[in-house]
Amino acid sequence: MNIYEMFKKVREEAPLVHHLTNWVTIYDCANIVKVLGASPVMAHAKEEVAEMSAIASALVLNIGTLTPEFIESMKIAAKSANSHNAPVVLDVCGAGATKLRDDMCFELLNETRIDIIKGNASEVARIAGERIQTKGVDSTDVGKDLIEIARKLANERNCTVVITGETDIIADRSKAFKVENGHEMMSHVVGTGCMAASVIGTFAAVERDLASASAAGLACYEIAAQLAAVDSNGPGTFKELLFDNIFNLSKDEIEKLQKVTQI
Amino acid sequence: MNIYEMFKKVREEAPLVHHLTNWVTIYDCANIVKVLGASPVMAHAKEEVAEMSAIASALVLNIGTLTPEFIESMKIAAKSANSHNAPVVLDVCGAGATKLRDDMCFELLNETRIDIIKGNASEVARIAGERIQTKGVDSTDVGKDLIEIARKLANERNCTVVITGETDIIADRSKAFKVENGHEMMSHVVGTGCMAASVIGTFAAVERDLASASAAGLACYEIAAQLAAVDSNGPGTFKELLFDNIFNLSKDEIEKLQKVTQI
Amino acid sequence: MNIYEMFKKVREEAPLVHHLTNWVTIYDCANIVKVLGASPVMAHAKEEVAEMSAIASALVLNIGTLTPEFIESMKIAAKSANSHNAPVVLDVCGAGATKLRDDMCFELLNETRIDIIKGNASEVARIAGERIQTKGVDSTDVGKDLIEIARKLANERNCTVVITGETDIIADRSKAFKVENGHEMMSHVVGTGCMAASVIGTFAAVERDLASASAAGLACYEIAAQLAAVDSNGPGTFKELLFDNIFNLSKDEIEKLQKVTQI
Q: What DSSP letter does each residue of C157-187 carry, written as one string?
A: HTSEEEEESSSEEEE-SS-EEEE----GGGG
Q: Is the Cα torsion angle B7, B9, B13, B19 positive or negative in sign?
A: negative
Chain B residues touching C35 at Cβ < 8 A: 188-189, 234-236
Average pLDDT rounded to a whole number, residues C105-129 = 96
Does A134 have pLDDT greater than 70? no
**Nearest CB neighbour to B99, from listed C39, C44, C51:** C51
Residues C244 and A19: their CA atoms lie apart, in Å, by 30
Question: Helical H runs in A112-191?
Answer: 121-127, 146-157
Give C137→chain A minimum CA distance, Å.
6
CATH of the domain at B38: 3.40.1190.20
Task: Please report, to the nearest 10 degrees, the dihedral formed by the alpha carbons of residues B156, B157, B161, B163 taken in order.
Answer: -70
What's the pLDDT at C1? 86
Give C136→chain A minimum CA distance, Å.
6
Residues C261 and C218: their CA atoms lie apart, in Å, by 12
Does A135 have pLDDT greater than 80? no
- The reply to whether residue A41 touches residue C188, judged by beta carbons under 8 angstroms, is no
Split into its structural domains, chain B has a count of 1
What's the pLDDT at A30? 98
Asked whether B201 and B29 are in contact (CB, 8 A), the reply is no
Residue B20 DSSP SS3? strand
If we measure between CA atoms, which residue out of B205, B235, B197 comes closest to residue B12?
A: B205
Question: Helical H runs in chain C?
Answer: 3-13, 26-35, 49-55, 68-83, 99-111, 121-127, 146-157, 192-204, 210-231, 235-247, 251-257
The DSSP code for B89 is E
Residues B90 and B73: their CA atoms lie apart, in Å, by 14
Asked whether B53 and A216 are in contact (CB, 8 A), the reply is no
Q: Is the Cα torsion angle B48, B50, B56, B61 positive or negative in sign?
A: positive
Q: Which residue has the higher pLDDT, B134 or B153?
A: B153
Residue A233: CB atoms within 10 A of its CB come to 15
pLDDT tens string C204-249:
999 999 999 999 999 999 999 999 999 999 999 999 999 999 999 9
When pLDDT is cut at 50, 70 and 90, the band that residue A52 belongs to is: very high
Chain C residues touching B235 at Cβ < 8 A: 31, 34-35, 243-244, 247
When pLDDT is cut at 50, 70 and 90, the band that residue A77 belongs to is: very high
- The reply to whether residue A99 touches residue B247, judged by beta carbons under 8 angstroms, is no
Residue in chain A nearest C241 by alpha carbon: A240
The backbone torsions φ and ψ at residue C60, rounded to the nearest 5 degrees and listed phi first, read: -115, 120
When pLDDT is cut at 50, 70 and 90, the band that residue A144 belongs to is: low
Mean pLDDT of chain B: 95
Does A203 have pLDDT greater than 70? yes
What's the pLDDT at C136? 58
The DSSP code for B138 is B
Give A99→chain B minimum CA distance, Å.
7
| Partners of residue B19 on adjacent β-strands | B42, B60
Mean pLDDT of chain C: 95
**Nearest CB neighbour to C24, from listed A16, A18, A30:** A30
What's the pLDDT at A28? 98
Q: Which residue has the higher pLDDT, A255 or B142?
A: A255
The DSSP code for B179 is E
- The reply to whether residue B234 touches residue C242, judged by beta carbons under 8 angstroms, is no
**Nearest CB neighbour to B68, from listed C47, C52, C242:** C47
What's the pLDDT at B130? 86
What's the pLDDT at A1? 86
When pLDDT is cut at 50, 70 and 90, the band that residue C111 belongs to is: very high
What's the pLDDT at B136? 58
Residues C257 and A205: their CA atoms lie apart, in Å, by 41
When pLDDT is cut at 50, 70 and 90, the band that residue B239 belongs to is: very high
Chain A residues touching C188 at Cβ < 8 A: 34-35, 247
Residues C135 and A54: their CA atoms lie apart, in Å, by 12
Q: Is the Cα torsion angle B208, B57, A138, C21 positive or negative in sign?
A: negative
Residue in chain B nearest A94 by alpha carbon: B41
Query: Which residues, in sequence order, are CB contacts of C172 under 8 Å at separation 6+?
Result: C154, C159, C160, C161, C210, C211
Task: Please report, to the nearest 10 degrees, the dihedral formed by the alpha carbons of residues C25, C27, C28, C29 taken in order.
Answer: 80
pLDDT tens string B187-235:
999 999 999 999 999 999 999 999 999 999 999 999 999 999 999 999 9
Buried b (16+ CB within 10 A) or exposed e, A75-100: bbbbbbbbeeebbbbbbbbbbbbbeb
**What Å distances lie between residue B91 and B53, B66, B85, C157, CA to CA?**
17, 12, 19, 42
What's the pLDDT at C40? 98
Residues C144 and C173: their CA atoms lie apart, in Å, by 19
When pLDDT is cut at 50, 70 and 90, the band that residue B142 belongs to is: low
Asked whether C187 and C213 are in contact (CB, 8 A), the reply is no
Q: Does A187 touch chain B (CB under 8 A)?
A: no
Does A143 have pLDDT greater than 60? no
Strand order, beta sheet including B160-164: B39-42, B16-20, B58-62, B88-91, B116-120, B160-164, B168-171, B176-179, B260-262
Asked whether B48 and A98 are in contact (CB, 8 A), the reply is yes
If we measure between CA atoms, which residue out of A236, A186, A187, A191 comes closest to residue B244?
A: A236
Q: How many angstroms separate the first and last alpha carbons of chain A?
A: 14
What's the pLDDT at C58? 98
Asked whether A110 and A85 are in contact (CB, 8 A), the reply is no
Q: Is the Cα torsion angle C100, C104, C107, C109 positive or negative in sign?
A: negative
**Nearest CB neighbour to A244, from listed C66, C97, C234:** C234
pLDDT tens string B6-39:
999 999 999 999 999 999 999 999 999 999 999 9
The letter for the amino acid at B19 is H
Does C142 have pLDDT greater than 90? no
pLDDT tens string C10-49:
999 999 999 999 999 999 999 999 999 999 999 999 999 9
Task: Please report, to the nearest 10 degrees, the dihedral formed by the alpha carbons of residues C222, C226, C231, C236 taken in order.
Answer: 50
Which domain range does residue C223 map to? 3-262
Q: What is B189-254 written as a DSSP string?
A: STTHHHHHHHHHHHHHTT-S-HHHHHHHHHHHHHHHHHHHHHH-SSHHHHHHHHHHHHHH--HHHH
Q: How many angstroms separate the first and last alpha carbons of chain B?
A: 14
Query: Which residues, in sequence order, are CB contacts of A30 under 8 Å at separation 6+?
Result: A19, A40, A42, A198, C24, C190
Helices B26-35 and A235-248 meet at what angle, rounded to 10? 110
What's the pLDDT at A130? 86
Chain A residues touching B31 at Cβ < 8 A: 189-191, 235
Subunits that touch chain A (at least 3 Cβ pairs < 8 angstroms)? B, C
ipTM of the complex: 0.95
When pLDDT is cut at 50, 70 and 90, the band that residue C134 belongs to is: low
Residues B13 and B10: their CA atoms lie apart, in Å, by 5
- The reply to whether residue B48 touches residue A98, judged by beta carbons under 8 angstroms, is yes
The DSSP bridge pattern shows strands B168-171 and B176-179 to be antiparallel
Mean pLDDT of chain A: 95
When pLDDT is cut at 50, 70 and 90, the band that residue C141 belongs to is: low
